[in-house]
Amino acid sequence: MPRGDDALAADPYDWQVTAAGAVRVFRGGRLVATVGGQPAARLAARLRGAGEAEAQQLLARATGHYRHGNERR
């Protein structure tokens, strides 16, 4: 099973901004998180200016699926 950035490349996150300004985060075609309010505005602004690898890291952090503490190198 891929780890870290390899996992993000193999199964990347996708995102969309709703009309209300919320950021919806998808992975594998399924909705995994919705970020609303001011955090959504900050996330959307950062995503628009980010490259693909940076966007994947931002989305992983937004979903809470980032660095659970059991990662090994």
Is residue 17 assigned to a domain? Answer: yes
Domain residues for the domain of 13 are 5-63
Task: Read off the pLDDT of residues 17-28 as tens digits, 9 standing for 90 and up.
Answer: 999 999 999 999
- Write a three-state SS string for 27-72: ECCEEEEEECHHHHHHHHHHHHCCCHHHHHHHHHHHHCCCCCCCCC
Q: Is residue 39 part of a domain?
A: yes
Q: What is the pTM of this model?
A: 0.77
Contact criterion met (CB below 8 Å) for 43 and 32: no
Which carries the bigger pLDDT value, residue 70 or residue 59? 59
Report the domain count for the chain: 1
Write out pLDDT tens, residues 14-58.
Answer: 999 999 999 999 999 999 999 999 999 999 999 999 999 999 999
3-state secondary structure of 18: coil
